[in-house]
């Protein structure tokens, strides 16, 4: 976590990548985020060697430092009094996790200092948090740190309440159960595949009999009171946030018990879902809000058009969304970033798409 808090303290932006990414995938994220420093382990340094030399990026290793890399001790042993002061605004971006949403290629999600503080407070502070973390807890972190789930809801929230956090670098069911027993884990935030792995394993009686904490089902926009819970409900909206349900087609607000798009206004970030609010202000999520574009009744997947655009050597990034059209219902429109030194024009891009796309995919 030193890299995250160190960057935050200095007013820098931190982004995290999967260490099992290919060199090309790491390079794409590093260039998209305009990275200046890469912190990694010696085992992965070779993956970023060419990227670093070609773009003047420094590489720092937390264990042994191969040739051409800095060692983490150069930071940890430096005198912080030698650092110049920095001005940080609550609206400044502090983290840039990459997410593809429901479809498409990964894109950076800009999280601000204010947004992160608000999110952590909403999850663990006050009388009705949606994560019941306490200072006496021992929390197991088996989820990857390059996911915002682990970074925000386990590490930041756990540190906020003063809990102990046990980090497991790689999931293995036998080792996980042993850690729960050895360190008296009280909370283990996990994902469905791990739940299935545990459910399908014959757990030894000595481990079953140990006291272990609950598995947490976490939704970061909703708090849930520890009593009178309705089956299937997500709870009520957290404080310092507003919520309404709207018709996805018209945008009009819907009354209680009618499903529509869930809209939340606050300093946290929420993905689009379909749900409804009942008479007791409890929210029920019933579906995902799809990104499919409806063109004259035909379904158009934005990711397919994006893939065509990204295959062009003069295009470095692209995003496709639907725009309302009186005749067709919706038409796809593309936002395109040209490659360095490219002189490609809008007409050339249209001609490129026209040669390989069906009518409904024309942008």
Query: What six digits make up the tokens of 40?
Result: 């990694």
Distance CA 80, CA 89 (A): 21
Bridge partners of 14, per DSSP, are: 95
Q: Is the pTM of this model over 0.85?
A: no
pLDDT of residue 258: 92
Percent with pLDDT over 70 in the chain: 84
pLDDT of residue 270: 59
- Confidence check: pLDDT of 60 > 70: yes
Residue 11: which H helix or E strand, with range?
A: none
What is the torsional sign of CA 286, 290, 295, 301?
Answer: negative
pLDDT tens per residue across span 173-198: 889 889 988 999 998 888 777 777 77
Pairing of β 283-288 and β 298-300: unpaired
What is the torsional sign of CA 16, 17, 19, 23?
Answer: negative
Q: Where does the pLDDT of residue 58 fall: very low under 50, low under 70, confident under 90, or very high at 90 and above?
A: very high
For residues 215 and 195, is the Cβ–Cβ distance under 8 A? yes
Rounded to 5°, the CA angle 306-311-312 comes to 105
Q: How many residues would you count in the chain?
A: 363
Delineate the domains of the chain, giving CATH numbers in brackets: 2-88 (3.40.50.980), 138-208 (3.40.50.980), 231-288 (2.30.38.10), 293-361 (3.30.300.30)
pLDDT tens per residue across span 84-128: 899 999 999 999 998 755 455 567 889 999 999 988 988 898 876
Return the higher-pLDDT residue of 45 and 192.
45
Token pair 């985020």 is at which residue?
33
Q: What is the DSSP string of 148-171?
A: HIIIIIIIIHHHHHT-EEEE-SS-
Q: Where does the pLDDT of residue 298 fall: very low under 50, low under 70, confident under 90, or very high at 90 and above?
A: low
Q: What is the mean pLDDT of the chain?
A: 83
Mean pLDDT of 68-78: 87
Secondary structure of residue 36 in the 3-state scheme: coil
Mean pLDDT of 259-274: 78
In the chain, the N- to C-terminal Cα span, in Å, equals 43
pLDDT tens per residue across span 303-344: 778 888 989 999 988 888 888 887 777 888 999 999 888 899
Query: What six digits make up the tokens of 60?
Result: 């720092």
């Amino acid at each position: 976590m030193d890299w995250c808090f160190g960057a935050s303290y200095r007013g820098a932006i931190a982004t995290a990548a999967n260490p099992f990414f290919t060199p090309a995938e790491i390079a794409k994220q590093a260039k998209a985020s305009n990275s200046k420093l890469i912190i990694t382990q010696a085992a992965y340094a070779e993956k970023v060697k060419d990227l670093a030399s070609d773009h003047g990026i420094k590489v720092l290793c937390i264990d042994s430092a191969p040739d051409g890399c800095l060692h983490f001790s150069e930071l940890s042993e430096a005198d912080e009094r030698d650092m110049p002061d920095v001005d940080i605004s609550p609206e400044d971006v502090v983290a840039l996790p990459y997410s593809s949403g429901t479809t498409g290629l990964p894109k950076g999600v800009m999280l601000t200092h204010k947004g992160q503080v608000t999110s952590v407070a909403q999850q663990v502070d006050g009388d009705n948090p949606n994560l019941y973390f306490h200072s006496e807890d021992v929390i197991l972190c088996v989820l990857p740190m390059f996911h915002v789930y682990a970074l925000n809801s386990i590490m930041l929230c756990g540190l906020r309440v003063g809990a102990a956090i046990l980090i497991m670098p790689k999931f293995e069911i036998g080792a996980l159960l042993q850690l729960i027993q050895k360190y008296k884990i009280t909370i283990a935030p996990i994902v469905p595949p791990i739940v299935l792995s545990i459910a399908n394993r014959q757990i030894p009686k000595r481990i079953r009999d140990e006291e272990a904490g609950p598995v947490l089902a976490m939704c970061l926009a909703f708090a849930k009171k520890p009593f009178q819970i309705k089956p299937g409900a997500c709870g009520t909206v957290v404080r310092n946030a507003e919520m309404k349900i709207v018709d996805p087609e018209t945008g009009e607000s819907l009354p209680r018990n009618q499903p529509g798009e869930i809209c939340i206004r606050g300093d946290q970030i929420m993905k689009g879902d379909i749900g409804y609010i009942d008479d007791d202000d409890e929210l029920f999520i019933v579906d995902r809000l799809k990104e499919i574009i409806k063109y004259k009744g035909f379904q158009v997947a934005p990711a397919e058009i994006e893939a065509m655009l990204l295959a062009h050597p003069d295009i470095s990034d692209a995003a496709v969304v639907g725009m309302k059209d009186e005749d067709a219902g919706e038409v796809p429109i593309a936002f395109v970033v040209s490659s360095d030194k490219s002189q490609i024009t809008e007409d050339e891009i249209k001609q490129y798409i026209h040669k390989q796309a069906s009518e409904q995919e024309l942008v």
